[in-house]
A and B are shown apart, each in its own frame.
Chain A
């Protein structure tokens, strides 16, 4: 039987130092809930760097290719037209005129692809239920979540109090 301990702090620096202390004792901090990003916490509690930027790059490449393939088909292959004497005999000659839309469409696909991935990975979508343990964590409180065996509970609570936690709550896991 294990329980979930929620240790609440009222200062981000105190929480960060607390997390360092807890982790140095070999205890795994499952998560931290805060009103704003606490810089440095990711390395301490072992949150890996997000790979969203890699996704963004792939979406960008896709957008760029789609734009170039599309414009080649519309303007060179399917219905070439002489517009104001602008060269349209080959993709290479017509390319300068295609740069602006290629750029815009690349940005369009990258930004929206990344935003959608971000929402899906975060599980933040319209109608989703919030799972923060305490409503005050979106105001001015910082909460550390730790899963612990029942036998080690008292020891952990003592440690957390020592690091400056102002409130400690328990929940059955």
Chain B
């Protein structure tokens, strides 16, 4: 029974916590009232969201002519925002699935919120292709449904259709994975609820979970198999998104390294967004004992690694465009770096390749303020990466007479900022009514990774998880 733990491993749960204390700490925000800070951030996000909703209505009502698109640049902010949001939506399932398969115990403090973030980010992403269809009420035409047009089917050879399947599978599977994990935690809130209304609501949400041995037996099997399925799924989704570009014959898009390069970029930006949200959340909801500096450090290491992978991809793209001897490719990359959009190329390079290298220094990757700043820098960089790939590749057409630039209209800007608003509104609401930490899963690692428990283990005692008033066993 005695658990052996390395002396050098840092605790993942700080302080003298007990099982009950974990329940208290995570349920407090759900059972208590929101503070002023929450209302302030919520109001700002809601205003942005309203602007976004206004722009959505305007776009749907008038048509996408109100965007800044022109004959040459016919894909710009919409697809940039789509890829950016889908990329952000990669961290959640990566954390909960890939890190589960690798038995990384630090995932338990962050997987719940990262998955919530994933789901909201994918909703934001899906909005853009739907709006770009123009007639959004015909969106069901992307499905292979029997129809009146002489049984004309959707094109299964097209990466755009692969995307429909990839995104809808990813969204629905992530949602199910998230909810299955939530059920036992909702049951905890249900069993503690005092007010009749919240008792009723959490009873419905927890689906009558009892936590019997057979329940847990099945729970662990489902989690493992879903993790096994979600792991290749995460990689497939952004690979397929990258094929929207890679299978076309546009210089700058037609490269075989796109799938792994996009996946690395997605993980990179996803972890950055997780950090942005978690650093604020741990402070506001007083969860510093669970989302520790060690967790932040782990995530910063992932950001550094994936950022460097993205950097290698940028450089090999650049090299191959010259080495291939293809004039069009060579020009596309020359134009990216030195043409009209050189500033966005520079921003992309600085934010995504240079800045993550700061994380080699242990002191810096453990610095909360620097990490917060960096997480925003990374997401700015990743937005510009997509912008650079998309707009610079098409704004110089084959015929110089059709060369053009892209200027966003207020609707483009409103849609982008609006989705950020809607995203934060959803996340803030989530943080009020959902258990933001997988509290029952965290309890399973308390005995082997809690700070007080580790001290006992190192002193050669059997670690206890009881309140001081409880008799030690």
Contacts and interface: CB of A to CB of B under 8 A. Distances in A.
A52 B470 CA distance: 39
Contact of A111 (B23, B162, B213, B226): B226
Interface in A15-74: 31-38, 41-42, 45, 47, 49-50, 52-53, 56, 70-71, 74
B220 interface: yes
Interface in A73-124: 74-75, 78-79, 81, 83-84, 86, 88, 94, 97-98, 100-101, 103-105, 107-108, 110-112, 114-115, 118-119, 121-124
Contact of A36 (B18, B210, B440, B473): B440
B95 interface: no
Interface stretch (B129-137, B188-196, B390-398): B188-196
A47 B161 CA distance: 45
B191 A78 contact: no
Nearest to A49: B217
B433 interface: no
B162 A104 contact: yes
Q: Which of A75, A110, A136, A138 has the most CB of B within 10 A?
A: A138
A50 B464 CA distance: 31
A128 B187 CA distance: 12
B314 interface: no
A132 B466 contact: no
A140 interface: yes
A50 B169 CA distance: 25
Contact of B151 (A52, A79, A127, A128): A79
Contacts of B208: 123-125, 127-131
A139 interface: yes
B233 interface: yes
A131 B42 CA distance: 38
Interface in B208-265: 208-222, 225-226, 229-230, 232-233, 236, 240, 243
A47 B157 contact: no
A132 B220 CA distance: 19
Contacts of B207: 119, 124-126, 128
A12 B19 CA distance: 10
A105 B166 CA distance: 8
Given A79-B151, A103-B236, A130-B208, 9 more contacts: A11-B464, A38-B213, A100-B236, A105-B165, A118-B219, A122-B214, A123-B208, A132-B212, A138-B440
Interface of A: 10-14, 31-38, 41-42, 45, 47, 49-50, 52-53, 56, 70-71, 74-75, 78-79, 81, 83-84, 86, 88, 94, 97-98, 100-101, 103-105, 107-108, 110-112, 114-115, 118-119, 121-132, 135-140, 164
Interface of B: 1, 18-20, 23, 144, 150-159, 161-162, 165-166, 168-169, 172-173, 176-177, 180, 183-184, 187-188, 190-192, 203-204, 206-222, 225-226, 229-230, 232-233, 236, 240, 243, 440-441, 443-444, 447, 462, 464-466, 470, 473
28 contacts: A13-B1, A13-B473, A31-B213, A35-B211, A38-B216, A42-B217, A47-B213, A50-B221, A56-B225, A79-B153, A86-B157, A100-B166, A104-B169, A108-B168, A108-B172, A111-B230, A112-B172, A114-B222, A118-B218, A124-B215, A127-B208, A130-B208, A132-B212, A137-B191, A137-B210, A138-B188, A139-B20, A164-B473
